Protein backbone atom coordinates (compact mmCIF):
# COMPACT_ATOMS: atom_id res chain seq x y z
CA UNK A 1 0.00 0.00 0.00
CA UNK A 2 1.38 3.35 -1.01
CA UNK A 3 -0.16 5.04 1.97
CA UNK A 4 1.93 7.91 3.17
CA UNK A 5 4.82 8.34 0.79
CA UNK A 6 3.86 11.90 0.04
CA UNK A 7 3.45 12.98 3.67
CA UNK A 8 5.52 16.05 4.30
CA UNK A 9 5.51 17.19 0.70
CA UNK A 10 3.44 20.17 -0.35
CA UNK A 11 -0.09 19.40 -1.45
CA UNK A 12 -0.50 19.80 -5.17
CA UNK A 13 -2.19 23.05 -5.93
CA UNK A 14 -1.91 24.51 -2.43
CA UNK A 15 1.29 26.48 -2.95
CA UNK A 16 1.02 29.09 -5.68
CA UNK A 17 4.38 30.75 -5.03
CA UNK A 18 7.48 28.55 -5.34
CA UNK A 19 9.92 31.24 -4.20
CA UNK A 20 11.35 31.10 -0.64
CA UNK A 21 8.81 32.57 1.77
CA UNK A 22 9.77 34.83 4.66
CA UNK A 23 7.40 34.77 7.65
CA UNK A 24 7.94 37.59 10.14
CA UNK A 25 6.25 38.14 13.52
CA UNK A 26 6.67 40.45 16.55
CA UNK A 27 7.68 37.32 18.51
CA UNK A 28 9.14 34.03 17.32
CA UNK A 29 9.10 31.17 19.85
CA UNK A 30 11.28 28.39 18.39
CA UNK A 31 10.94 26.19 21.57
CA UNK A 32 14.43 24.78 21.01
CA UNK A 33 15.87 28.16 22.00
CA UNK A 34 14.88 31.50 23.57
CA UNK A 35 12.11 33.59 21.96
CA UNK A 36 13.26 36.09 19.33
CA UNK A 37 11.77 39.59 19.23
CA UNK A 38 10.85 40.73 15.70
CA UNK A 39 11.78 37.29 14.46
CA UNK A 40 11.49 35.52 11.15
CA UNK A 41 11.67 32.10 9.54
CA UNK A 42 12.53 31.52 5.93
CA UNK A 43 10.81 28.58 4.25
CA UNK A 44 12.33 26.92 1.22
CA UNK A 45 10.73 23.85 -0.40
CA UNK A 46 8.56 23.15 2.65
CA UNK A 47 11.44 23.29 5.15
CA UNK A 48 12.83 25.95 7.42
CA UNK A 49 15.99 27.28 5.77
CA UNK A 50 16.80 30.14 8.17
CA UNK A 51 15.74 31.37 11.63
CA UNK A 52 16.65 34.72 13.21
CA UNK A 53 15.55 38.30 13.48
CA UNK A 54 13.64 39.76 10.55
CA UNK A 55 16.44 42.29 10.06
CA UNK A 56 19.08 39.54 9.77
CA UNK A 57 17.09 37.38 7.37
CA UNK A 58 15.97 40.31 5.19
CA UNK A 59 19.57 41.51 5.03
CA UNK A 60 20.81 38.09 3.85
CA UNK A 61 18.08 37.80 1.22
CA UNK A 62 18.76 41.25 -0.20
CA UNK A 63 22.54 40.81 -0.16
CA UNK A 64 22.17 37.56 -2.08
CA UNK A 65 19.62 39.04 -4.48
CA UNK A 66 17.20 36.22 -3.66
CA UNK A 67 13.60 36.69 -4.77
CA UNK A 68 11.17 35.83 -2.02
CA UNK A 69 7.57 36.15 -0.84
CA UNK A 70 6.75 37.76 2.49
CA UNK A 71 4.13 37.24 5.20
CA UNK A 72 4.00 39.67 8.11
CA UNK A 73 2.02 38.01 10.92
CA UNK A 74 0.65 40.05 13.82
CA UNK A 75 1.01 37.38 16.46
CA UNK A 76 3.36 34.87 18.08
CA UNK A 77 4.90 32.44 15.62
CA UNK A 78 5.54 29.05 17.26
CA UNK A 79 5.94 25.42 16.15
CA UNK A 80 2.67 23.78 15.12
CA UNK A 81 0.91 21.98 17.94
CA UNK A 82 1.71 18.27 18.06
CA UNK A 83 -1.34 16.44 19.42
CA UNK A 84 0.11 13.25 20.92
CA UNK A 85 -3.22 11.48 21.45
CA UNK A 86 -6.49 11.78 19.59
CA UNK A 87 -9.10 9.76 17.74
CA UNK A 88 -10.23 12.00 14.88
CA UNK A 89 -12.89 9.53 13.80
CA UNK A 90 -14.93 10.16 16.98
CA UNK A 91 -15.50 13.82 16.08
CA UNK A 92 -19.14 12.98 15.29
CA UNK A 93 -19.55 11.73 18.87
CA UNK A 94 -19.14 15.18 20.43
CA UNK A 95 -22.49 14.79 22.23
CA UNK A 96 -20.91 12.09 24.39
CA UNK A 97 -18.13 14.53 25.27
CA UNK A 98 -20.68 17.07 26.48
CA UNK A 99 -21.79 14.76 29.30
CA UNK A 100 -20.56 14.44 32.87
CA UNK A 101 -19.39 11.02 34.01
CA UNK A 102 -18.55 9.26 37.22
CA UNK A 103 -15.53 7.39 35.91
CA UNK A 104 -14.14 5.39 33.03
CA UNK A 105 -16.74 2.60 33.08
CA UNK A 106 -19.62 5.11 33.24
CA UNK A 107 -18.22 7.05 30.27
CA UNK A 108 -17.38 3.93 28.26
CA UNK A 109 -20.98 2.67 28.56
CA UNK A 110 -22.26 5.99 27.14
CA UNK A 111 -19.57 5.86 24.44
CA UNK A 112 -20.40 2.30 23.40
CA UNK A 113 -24.11 3.00 22.85
CA UNK A 114 -23.35 5.81 20.39
CA UNK A 115 -20.38 4.02 18.79
CA UNK A 116 -22.62 1.08 17.81
CA UNK A 117 -24.89 3.39 15.79
CA UNK A 118 -24.08 3.77 12.08
CA UNK A 119 -21.47 6.47 11.35
CA UNK A 120 -19.50 7.75 8.39
CA UNK A 121 -16.14 7.42 10.15
CA UNK A 122 -14.18 8.79 7.20
CA UNK A 123 -16.22 12.00 7.06
CA UNK A 124 -16.11 12.35 10.83
CA UNK A 125 -12.30 11.99 10.87
CA UNK A 126 -11.98 14.57 8.08
CA UNK A 127 -14.15 16.97 10.12
CA UNK A 128 -11.89 16.40 13.13
CA UNK A 129 -8.80 17.09 11.07
CA UNK A 130 -10.26 20.38 9.81
CA UNK A 131 -11.13 21.43 13.38
CA UNK A 132 -7.66 20.53 14.66
CA UNK A 133 -6.01 22.35 11.75
CA UNK A 134 -7.96 25.52 12.53
CA UNK A 135 -6.71 25.32 16.12
CA UNK A 136 -3.03 25.33 15.07
CA UNK A 137 -2.38 21.58 14.97
CA UNK A 138 0.15 20.38 12.43
CA UNK A 139 0.74 16.79 13.58
CA UNK A 140 -1.41 14.19 15.29
CA UNK A 141 -0.97 10.81 16.90
CA UNK A 142 -4.29 9.53 15.55
CA UNK A 143 -5.75 6.28 16.85
CA UNK A 144 -7.84 4.59 14.16
CA UNK A 145 -10.37 1.85 14.93
CA UNK A 146 -12.37 1.70 11.69
CA UNK A 147 -10.97 1.27 8.19
CA UNK A 148 -12.82 4.26 6.70
CA UNK A 149 -10.84 6.64 8.93
CA UNK A 150 -7.43 5.11 8.24
CA UNK A 151 -6.14 7.52 5.62
CA UNK A 152 -7.42 10.79 7.06
CA UNK A 153 -3.94 12.14 7.86
CA UNK A 154 -2.77 11.34 4.35
CA UNK A 155 -5.75 12.88 2.62
CA UNK A 156 -5.70 15.90 4.93
CA UNK A 157 -1.94 16.42 4.39
CA UNK A 158 -1.38 16.47 8.15
CA UNK A 159 1.82 15.13 9.74
CA UNK A 160 1.85 12.49 12.42
CA UNK A 161 1.19 8.78 12.77
CA UNK A 162 -1.98 6.79 12.08
CA UNK A 163 -2.01 4.05 14.73
CA UNK A 164 -4.17 1.06 13.83
CA UNK A 165 -5.97 0.08 17.03
CA UNK A 166 -6.35 -3.53 18.13
CA UNK A 167 -8.68 -4.75 20.85
CA UNK A 168 -10.80 -7.77 21.85
CA UNK A 169 -8.41 -10.44 20.54
CA UNK A 170 -7.87 -13.81 22.22
CA UNK A 171 -4.48 -15.37 21.46
CA UNK A 172 -5.70 -18.28 19.29
CA UNK A 173 -7.90 -16.09 17.12
CA UNK A 174 -5.15 -13.50 16.81
CA UNK A 175 -2.62 -16.07 15.66
CA UNK A 176 -5.03 -17.74 13.22
CA UNK A 177 -6.32 -14.59 11.51
CA UNK A 178 -5.78 -11.32 13.46
CA UNK A 179 -2.07 -11.10 12.76
CA UNK A 180 -2.36 -11.66 9.01
CA UNK A 181 -5.31 -9.26 8.76
CA UNK A 182 -3.28 -6.60 10.55
CA UNK A 183 -0.29 -7.11 8.28
CA UNK A 184 -2.59 -6.76 5.28
CA UNK A 185 -4.03 -3.57 6.76
CA UNK A 186 -0.66 -1.91 7.29
CA UNK A 187 1.17 -3.30 4.28
CA UNK A 188 4.48 -5.09 4.51
CA UNK A 189 6.94 -2.28 3.75
CA UNK A 190 8.51 -0.54 6.73
CA UNK A 191 7.49 3.10 6.93
CA UNK A 192 7.58 6.01 9.32
CA UNK A 193 3.99 7.22 9.47
CA UNK A 194 1.97 4.20 10.49
CA UNK A 195 1.78 2.56 13.88
CA UNK A 196 0.13 -0.15 15.92
CA UNK A 197 -1.99 0.56 18.96
CA UNK A 198 -2.67 -2.29 21.33
CA UNK A 199 -5.70 -0.58 22.90
CA UNK A 200 -5.09 -1.21 26.61
CA UNK A 201 -3.66 -3.85 28.98
CA UNK A 202 -7.14 -5.23 29.76
CA UNK A 203 -8.65 -5.43 26.27
CA UNK A 204 -6.21 -7.86 24.64
CA UNK A 205 -4.84 -11.24 25.63
CA UNK A 206 -1.31 -11.16 27.05
CA UNK A 207 0.32 -12.99 24.15
CA UNK A 208 -1.41 -10.68 21.67
CA UNK A 209 0.12 -7.59 23.31
CA UNK A 210 3.50 -9.32 23.35
CA UNK A 211 3.16 -10.31 19.70
CA UNK A 212 2.20 -6.76 18.70
CA UNK A 213 5.61 -5.63 19.96
CA UNK A 214 7.24 -8.29 17.78
CA UNK A 215 5.05 -7.35 14.82
CA UNK A 216 5.78 -3.62 15.18
CA UNK A 217 9.49 -4.45 15.07
CA UNK A 218 9.02 -6.65 12.00
CA UNK A 219 7.08 -3.91 10.21
CA UNK A 220 9.29 -1.08 11.47
CA UNK A 221 6.38 0.88 12.95
CA UNK A 222 5.84 2.61 16.29
CA UNK A 223 3.38 1.68 19.05
CA UNK A 224 0.95 3.57 21.24
CA UNK A 225 -1.24 2.29 24.10
CA UNK A 226 -3.80 3.64 26.57
CA UNK A 227 -2.27 2.89 29.97
CA UNK A 228 -3.12 3.72 33.59
CA UNK A 229 -6.28 5.52 32.47
CA UNK A 230 -8.86 3.72 34.60
CA UNK A 231 -8.72 3.30 38.36
CA UNK A 232 -9.86 -0.30 37.83
CA UNK A 233 -6.91 -1.21 35.62
CA UNK A 234 -4.69 -1.96 38.63
CA UNK A 235 -7.20 -4.40 40.13
CA UNK A 236 -7.48 -6.08 36.76
CA UNK A 237 -3.74 -6.67 36.28
CA UNK A 238 -2.96 -7.32 39.96
CA UNK A 239 -5.68 -9.87 40.72
CA UNK A 240 -8.02 -10.22 37.73
CA UNK A 241 -10.86 -8.65 39.72
CA UNK A 242 -12.90 -5.43 39.75
CA UNK A 243 -15.27 -3.71 37.34
CA UNK A 244 -13.05 -3.97 34.26
CA UNK A 245 -12.41 -7.66 34.86
CA UNK A 246 -16.15 -8.32 35.33
CA UNK A 247 -16.96 -6.36 32.17
CA UNK A 248 -14.51 -8.31 29.99
CA UNK A 249 -15.65 -11.63 31.48
CA UNK A 250 -19.24 -10.67 30.65
CA UNK A 251 -18.22 -9.86 27.11
CA UNK A 252 -16.86 -13.40 26.67
CA UNK A 253 -13.14 -12.90 27.30
CA UNK A 254 -12.71 -14.95 30.48
CA UNK A 255 -10.01 -16.89 28.62
CA UNK A 256 -7.69 -13.85 28.67
CA UNK A 257 -4.54 -15.15 30.40
CA UNK A 258 -4.65 -12.44 33.09
CA UNK A 259 -8.25 -13.31 34.03
CA UNK A 260 -7.61 -17.07 33.92
CA UNK A 261 -4.58 -16.74 36.19
CA UNK A 262 -6.30 -14.44 38.69
CA UNK A 263 -3.98 -11.54 37.86
CA UNK A 264 -0.26 -11.01 37.46
CA UNK A 265 0.61 -9.44 40.84
CA UNK A 266 1.82 -6.47 38.83
CA UNK A 267 0.37 -2.99 38.46
CA UNK A 268 -0.54 -1.99 34.87
CA UNK A 269 2.71 -0.21 33.99
CA UNK A 270 4.87 -3.02 35.42
CA UNK A 271 2.68 -5.59 33.65
CA UNK A 272 3.05 -3.69 30.36
CA UNK A 273 6.83 -3.62 30.81
CA UNK A 274 6.95 -7.34 31.64
CA UNK A 275 5.33 -8.24 28.31
CA UNK A 276 7.45 -5.88 26.20
CA UNK A 277 4.78 -3.25 25.65
CA UNK A 278 6.96 -0.24 26.61
CA UNK A 279 10.06 1.29 25.06
CA UNK A 280 11.50 4.24 23.18
CA UNK A 281 9.51 3.28 20.06
CA UNK A 282 6.28 3.56 22.03
CA UNK A 283 4.31 6.17 23.91
CA UNK A 284 1.35 5.80 26.20
CA UNK A 285 -1.78 7.90 26.68
CA UNK A 286 -3.00 9.23 30.04
CA UNK A 287 -0.68 7.73 32.70
CA UNK A 288 -3.05 8.94 35.44
CA UNK A 289 -2.76 6.08 37.90
CA UNK A 290 1.04 5.98 37.82
CA UNK A 291 2.83 5.87 41.18
CA UNK A 292 6.53 6.59 41.76
CA UNK A 293 7.54 3.07 40.73
CA UNK A 294 5.41 3.24 37.58
CA UNK A 295 6.90 6.60 36.63
CA UNK A 296 10.39 5.17 37.18
CA UNK A 297 9.56 2.31 34.79
CA UNK A 298 8.40 4.80 32.15
CA UNK A 299 11.67 6.72 32.52
CA UNK A 300 13.80 3.57 32.48
CA UNK A 301 12.12 2.36 29.29
CA UNK A 302 12.17 5.87 27.71
CA UNK A 303 8.41 5.69 27.23
CA UNK A 304 6.76 9.08 26.79
CA UNK A 305 3.31 9.79 28.23
CA UNK A 306 0.68 11.88 26.43
CA UNK A 307 -1.25 13.75 29.13
CA UNK A 308 -4.90 14.54 28.29
CA UNK A 309 -6.18 16.52 31.30
CA UNK A 310 -9.45 17.84 29.90
CA UNK A 311 -10.53 14.39 28.70
CA UNK A 312 -9.67 12.95 32.11
CA UNK A 313 -11.86 15.61 33.78
CA UNK A 314 -14.87 14.96 31.50
CA UNK A 315 -14.69 11.23 32.16
CA UNK A 316 -14.49 11.83 35.91
CA UNK A 317 -11.01 10.42 36.43
CA UNK A 318 -8.43 11.60 38.91
CA UNK A 319 -5.70 14.10 38.02
CA UNK A 320 -2.55 12.78 36.42
CA UNK A 321 0.56 13.35 38.59
CA UNK A 322 1.70 16.23 36.40
CA UNK A 323 4.01 17.86 38.97
CA UNK A 324 5.69 14.52 39.71
CA UNK A 325 6.25 13.78 36.02
CA UNK A 326 7.88 17.22 35.66
CA UNK A 327 10.00 16.98 38.82
CA UNK A 328 11.21 13.47 38.06
CA UNK A 329 11.99 14.19 34.42
CA UNK A 330 9.60 11.88 32.56
CA UNK A 331 9.13 12.38 28.85
CA UNK A 332 5.79 14.15 28.53
CA UNK A 333 3.62 15.19 25.61
CA UNK A 334 0.06 16.56 25.39
CA UNK A 335 -3.05 15.10 23.79
CA UNK A 336 -6.63 16.26 23.49
CA UNK A 337 -8.11 12.76 23.12
CA UNK A 338 -11.27 12.83 20.99
CA UNK A 339 -14.36 15.04 21.04
CA UNK A 340 -16.19 12.09 22.61
CA UNK A 341 -14.45 13.04 25.87
CA UNK A 342 -13.19 16.62 25.55
CA UNK A 343 -14.68 20.03 24.74
CA UNK A 344 -12.28 20.92 21.89
CA UNK A 345 -9.42 19.66 19.72
CA UNK A 346 -7.33 22.75 20.55
CA UNK A 347 -4.21 21.43 22.26
CA UNK A 348 -3.60 24.76 23.99
CA UNK A 349 -6.73 24.13 26.08
CA UNK A 350 -4.97 21.09 27.53
CA UNK A 351 -1.72 23.00 27.97
CA UNK A 352 -3.55 25.58 30.10
CA UNK A 353 -5.22 22.77 32.08
CA UNK A 354 -1.82 21.14 32.71
CA UNK A 355 -0.45 24.47 33.90
CA UNK A 356 -3.25 24.79 36.45
CA UNK A 357 -2.83 21.17 37.59
CA UNK A 358 0.95 21.42 37.99
CA UNK A 359 0.68 24.59 40.08
CA UNK A 360 -2.14 23.12 42.20
CA UNK A 361 0.00 20.02 42.76
CA UNK A 362 2.82 22.19 44.09
CA UNK A 363 5.12 22.58 41.10
CA UNK A 364 6.54 26.05 41.80
CA UNK A 365 9.55 26.17 39.44
CA UNK A 366 9.83 29.08 37.02
CA UNK A 367 10.43 26.75 34.06
CA UNK A 368 6.84 25.48 34.03
CA UNK A 369 5.65 27.57 31.06
CA UNK A 370 8.62 26.61 28.90
CA UNK A 371 8.36 22.92 29.79
CA UNK A 372 4.67 22.71 28.96
CA UNK A 373 5.17 24.51 25.66
CA UNK A 374 7.95 22.01 24.94
CA UNK A 375 5.58 19.13 25.80
CA UNK A 376 2.96 20.41 23.32
CA UNK A 377 5.46 20.66 20.47
CA UNK A 378 8.84 18.94 20.68
CA UNK A 379 7.60 16.58 23.40
CA UNK A 380 4.92 15.31 21.02
CA UNK A 381 7.51 14.94 18.27
CA UNK A 382 9.71 12.86 20.62
CA UNK A 383 6.69 10.69 21.55
CA UNK A 384 6.25 9.85 17.86
CA UNK A 385 9.96 9.62 17.02
CA UNK A 386 9.68 12.70 14.79
CA UNK A 387 12.15 15.00 16.55
CA UNK A 388 15.02 13.96 14.28
CA UNK A 389 15.52 12.87 10.69
CA UNK A 390 14.02 14.03 7.42
CA UNK A 391 10.53 14.52 8.82
CA UNK A 392 11.48 16.32 12.00
CA UNK A 393 8.93 18.60 13.56
CA UNK A 394 8.24 20.26 16.92
CA UNK A 395 10.67 23.19 16.85
CA UNK A 396 11.61 26.05 14.55
CA UNK A 397 15.06 24.94 13.44
CA UNK A 398 16.90 24.94 10.14
CA UNK A 399 16.14 21.70 8.28
CA UNK A 400 12.88 20.95 10.11
CA UNK A 401 9.61 20.75 8.22
CA UNK A 402 8.04 24.22 8.10
CA UNK A 403 5.14 23.47 10.43
CA UNK A 404 4.05 26.37 12.55
CA UNK A 405 1.14 28.27 14.04
CA UNK A 406 0.57 31.94 14.74
CA UNK A 407 -1.29 32.81 17.94
CA UNK A 408 -2.87 36.11 18.97
CA UNK A 409 -1.25 36.11 22.43
CA UNK A 410 1.23 38.97 22.10
CA UNK A 411 2.96 40.24 25.24
CA UNK A 412 5.79 42.71 25.96
CA UNK A 413 8.61 40.39 27.12
CA UNK A 414 9.93 36.96 26.14
CA UNK A 415 8.83 35.50 29.48
CA UNK A 416 5.36 37.02 29.20
CA UNK A 417 4.92 35.73 25.65
CA UNK A 418 5.62 32.14 26.68
CA UNK A 419 3.45 32.52 29.78
CA UNK A 420 0.59 33.94 27.70
CA UNK A 421 0.80 31.08 25.18
CA UNK A 422 0.63 28.49 27.96
CA UNK A 423 -2.06 30.08 30.10
CA UNK A 424 -4.35 31.46 27.38
CA UNK A 425 -6.27 28.24 26.69
CA UNK A 426 -7.98 27.46 23.42
CA UNK A 427 -9.30 29.75 20.70
CA UNK A 428 -6.18 31.84 19.98
CA UNK A 429 -4.93 30.53 16.66
CA UNK A 430 -4.56 32.97 13.76
CA UNK A 431 -2.93 30.76 11.14
CA UNK A 432 -1.66 27.22 10.57
CA UNK A 433 1.21 26.44 8.20
CA UNK A 434 2.16 22.86 7.25
CA UNK A 435 5.25 22.14 5.13
CA UNK A 436 5.33 25.83 4.32
CA UNK A 437 1.75 25.95 3.01
CA UNK A 438 -0.70 28.30 4.70
CA UNK A 439 -3.43 25.78 5.37
CA UNK A 440 -5.72 27.84 7.58
CA UNK A 441 -6.02 31.52 8.39
CA UNK A 442 -8.48 33.34 10.63
CA UNK A 443 -10.76 35.63 8.68
CA UNK A 444 -12.20 38.60 10.50
Residues 87-106 touching Zn ion, rule: CB under 5 A, are none
| Greatest C-alpha distance within the chain | 74
CB 201, min distance to Zn ion, A: 14
Q: How far is CA 116 from the centre of its chain?
A: 25
Residues 357-396 touching Zn ion, rule: CB under 5 A, are none
User: Hey, which residues does 81 pair with through a beta bridge?
Assistant: 137
To the nearest 10°, report the CA torsion of 259, 237, 287, 88: -10
Helix or strand holding residue 318 (H, E) = none
C-alpha to C-alpha distance for 291 and 103, rounded to whole angstroms: 19
**Please, which residue, 337 or 397, has the CB nearer to Zn ion?**
337
CB 86, min distance to Zn ion, A: 7
CB 226, min distance to Zn ion, A: 6
**Please, which residue, 42 or 144, has the CB nearer to Zn ion?**
144
**Please, which residue, 337 or 350, has the CB nearer to Zn ion?**
337
Residues 324-363 touching Zn ion, rule: CB under 5 A, are 337
Which residue of the chain is nearest Zn ion when measured via CB? 337
CB 230, min distance to Zn ion, A: 12
Contact 268, 260 (CB under 8 A): no
CB 341, min distance to Zn ion, A: 7
User: Hey, which residues does 225 pair with through a beta bridge?
Assistant: 284
**Please, which residue, 29 or 82, has the CB nearer to Zn ion?**
82
C-alpha to C-alpha distance for 161 and 221, rounded to whole angstroms: 9
What is the number of other CB atoms lying within 10 angstroms of the CB of residue 88? 30
**Please, which residue, 245 or 306, has the CB nearer to Zn ion?**
306
**Please, which residue, 278 or 431, has the CB nearer to Zn ion?**
278
To the nearest 10°, report the CA torsion of 287, 423, 381, 345: 80
**Please, which residue, 94 or 420, has the CB nearer to Zn ion?**
94
CB 223, min distance to Zn ion, A: 14
Report, in angstroms and rounded to the nearest whole number, the Rg of the chain calculated over CA atoms.
22
CB 143, min distance to Zn ion, A: 6
Positive/negative CA dihedral, 388, 393, 398, 401: positive
Residues in the site for Zn ion, rule: CB under 5 A?
337
Amino acid sequence: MDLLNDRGLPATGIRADTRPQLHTAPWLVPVSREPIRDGAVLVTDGRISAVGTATELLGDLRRNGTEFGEHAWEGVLMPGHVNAHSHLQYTCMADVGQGVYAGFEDWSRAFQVVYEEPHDWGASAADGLAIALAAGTTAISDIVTDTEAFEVLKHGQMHGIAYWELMSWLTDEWMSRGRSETIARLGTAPHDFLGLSPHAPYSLDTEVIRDLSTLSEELGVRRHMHLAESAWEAEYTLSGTGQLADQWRNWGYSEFAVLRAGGTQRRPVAYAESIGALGPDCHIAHGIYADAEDRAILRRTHTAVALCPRSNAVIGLDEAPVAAYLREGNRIAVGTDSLSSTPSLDLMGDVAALYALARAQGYAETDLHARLLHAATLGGAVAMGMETGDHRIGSLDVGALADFAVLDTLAPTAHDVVAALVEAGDGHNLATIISGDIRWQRTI
